[in-house]
Amino acid sequence: MRRAAPLAAVLLTVVAAVLLIARDADAHALLARADPPINASLRESPTRITLFMTEQLQRSHSSVQVLDSNGQRRDIGETEFSDAVPTQMGVRVLRLDPGVYTVVWETLSEVDGHTWTGSYVFSVLNPDGSAPAGSGVVVDLDRPGPPVAADSVVKAIGLGALVLFVGAVGITALLRPSPLPALMPLMALAVVVGLAATGYETIAGALRLGDIGFLGDVLFDSRNGLWLQQRWYALILAALLLTWRLSRPSSTPRPLLLILALVAAVWLASASAISHGAAIGSGWIWGTLFDALHLAAASVWIGGLAALLLSVRANPDRRIDAVRRFSVVAALMVPVLLAAGLLSALIQIPDIDGIAGTDWGAAFIAKLILLCLLFAAAAANAFLLRPRDAAASGSDPILARRFSRMMRAEVALGLAVIAVSAVLTQLPSPASAQPEVEQKDNTVVETVARGDVVASLEISPNLVGFNTWTAAVDAPSNNPVEALLLRFRYQDRSVGPVTVPATRIAEDRFQLEGAYFGLPGEWTVEMELRRAAGDDLVAGVRTGVESGFQASPFAADRGGALALPLTQMDWNGVGALWAFLLAALAWINRPRIRRRWGPRGGDAAFAGGLLGLIVAVVLLTGLHVEPGRTLANPVLRTEQSVERGAALFARNCASCHGEQGAGDGPLADTLPAPPANFTVHVPFHPDGVLFAWISDGIRGTGMPAWSPQLSDQERWDLVNFLRASFDVSVAQ
* CATH architecture under which domain 5-20+147-434+559-568 falls: Up-down Bundle (1.20)
Q: Where would I find the beta strands (DSSP E) of 491-536? A: 498-501, 503-506, 509-517, 521-531
3-state secondary structure of 511: strand
The answer to whether the CB of 498 falls within 8 A of the CB of 515 is no
Instruction: Output the pLDDT for position 307.
Output: 92
Q: Smallest Cα–Cα separation from 242: which of 181, 198, 174, 178?
A: 181
- CA trace torsion 359, 365, 371, 376 (10° rounding): -150
- CA trace torsion 266, 271, 277, 278 (10° rounding): 60
Lowest-pLDDT range of 134-148, 205-219, 451-465: 134-148
Residue 152 to residues 106, 291, 424, 529: CA-CA distances in angstroms? 22, 18, 9, 53
How wide is the angle at C-alpha 37 spanned by C-alphas 50 and 144, nearest 5°?
Answer: 65
Q: How many residues does the chain have?
A: 732
* DSSP string over 672-695: SSPPP-HHHHGGGS-HHHHHHHHH
Q: Sign of dihedral through CA atoms 588, 593, 594, 596?
A: positive
CA distance linking residue 526 with residue 488, whole number of Å: 7
How large is the C-alpha radius of gyration of the chain?
Answer: 31
What is the tens place of the pLDDT at every residue in 635-679? 899 999 999 999 889 888 888 888 888 888 877 766 666 788 888
The answer to whether the CB of 89 falls within 8 A of the CB of 62 is yes
CA distance linking residue 11 with residue 17, whole number of Å: 10
**Burial bucket for residue 612 (CB in 10 Å: 0-12, 13-18, 19+):** buried
Domain ranges of the chain: 5-20+147-434+559-568, 36-124, 441-545, 639-731
The answer to whether the CB of 334 falls within 8 A of the CB of 328 is no
Lowest-pLDDT range of 11-15, 181-185, 255-259: 11-15
Each residue of 618-655: b (16+ CB within 10 Å) or e? ebbeeeeeebbeeeebebebeeebbebbbebbeebbbe
Q: Does residue 190 carry a pLDDT above 90?
A: yes
* Topology at the third CATH level for domain 441-545: Immunoglobulin-like (2.60.40)
Q: Does residue 104 carry a pLDDT above 60?
A: yes
Residue 373 to residues 5, 163, 389, 478: CA-CA distances in angstroms? 18, 19, 22, 65
- Residue type, position 382, single letter: A
Strands 509-517, 465-474: pairing kind = antiparallel
Averaged over 623-645, what is the pLDDT? Answer: 79
- Residue type, position 436, single letter: E
What is the tens place of the pLDDT at every residue in 565-596? 776 777 788 888 888 888 888 887 788 778 77
What is the tens place of the pLDDT at every residue in 76-103? 989 999 887 778 899 999 999 998 899 9
What is the tens place of the pLDDT at every residue in 361-373? 888 898 999 999 9
Instruction: Output the pLDDT for position 234.
Output: 92
Tell me the sheet residues that pair with 441: none
Q: Smallest Cα–Cα separation from 56: which of 271, 203, 274?
A: 274
What is the tens place of the pLDDT at every residue in 204-214? 888 887 778 88
Percent of the chain residues past pLDDT 90, beyond the cut: 21
Q: Sign of dihedral through CA atoms 359, 363, 366, 372?
A: negative
Q: Does domain 36-124 have CATH number 3.20.20.370?
A: no
349: phi then psi, degrees, rounded to nearest 5: -120, 85
CATH of domain 639-731: 1.10.760.10
Residue 631 to residues 85, 636, 637, 688, 721: CA-CA distances in angstroms? 25, 14, 16, 5, 17
Q: Does residue 426 carry a pLDDT above 60?
A: yes
3-state secondary structure of 56: coil
CA distance linking residue 473 with residue 476, whole number of Å: 10
Q: Smallest Cα–Cα separation from 363: which of 114, 10, 24, 6?
A: 24
Instruction: Output the pLDDT for position 458.
Output: 93
Dmax over CA atoms of the chain, in Å, equals: 103
What is the tens place of the pLDDT at every residue in 470-529? 999 998 888 888 899 999 888 877 777 888 899 999 888 999 987 788 777 889 999 999
Residue 541 to residues 400, 449, 476, 493, 635: CA-CA distances in angstroms? 77, 11, 22, 17, 54
**Displacement of CA 120 from its chain's centroid (Å):** 21
Strands 453-460, 503-506: pairing kind = unpaired
Q: Smallest Cα–Cα separation from 377: which of 4, 14, 10, 21?
A: 10
CA distance linking residue 189 with residue 357, whole number of Å: 38
Mean pLDDT of the chain: 81
Q: Do domains 36-124 and 441-545 have the same CATH topology?
A: yes
Instruction: Output the pLDDT for position 665.
Output: 80
The answer to whether the CB of 465 falls within 8 A of the CB of 39 is yes
**Displacement of CA 331 from its chain's centroid (Å):** 30
Residue 586 to residues 74, 77, 293, 343, 593: CA-CA distances in angstroms? 65, 62, 19, 21, 9
Instruction: Output the pLDDT for position 562.
Output: 76
Q: Smallest Cα–Cα separation from 306: which of 195, 152, 161?
A: 161
Averaged over 307-326, what is the pLDDT? Answer: 83
What is the tens place of the pLDDT at every residue in 538-574? 888 999 887 655 443 334 344 567 777 776 777 788 8
CA distance linking residue 353 with residue 345, whole number of Å: 13
Query: Residue 442, Cβ neighbours under 10 Å: how many?
Result: 15
The answer to whether the CB of 400 falls within 8 A of the CB of 394 is yes
Q: Smallest Cα–Cα separation from 487: which of 441, 525, 431, 534?
A: 525
**Displacement of CA 720 from its chain's centroid (Å):** 37
Starting at the edge strand found earlier in the chain, the sheet holding 63-67 runs 41-42, 115-124, 99-108, 63-67
Instruction: Output the pLDDT for position 354.
Output: 66
Instruction: Output the pLDDT for position 360.
Output: 83
What is the tens place of the pLDDT at every residue in 697-708? 776 567 878 877
- Residue type, position 501, single letter: P
Strands 115-124, 41-42: pairing kind = parallel
Instruction: Output the pLDDT for position 8.
Output: 47
What is the tens place of the pLDDT at every residue in 392-418? 665 667 777 887 888 888 899 999 999
Q: Is the peptide bond before 177 cis (omega within 30 degrees of 0)?
A: yes
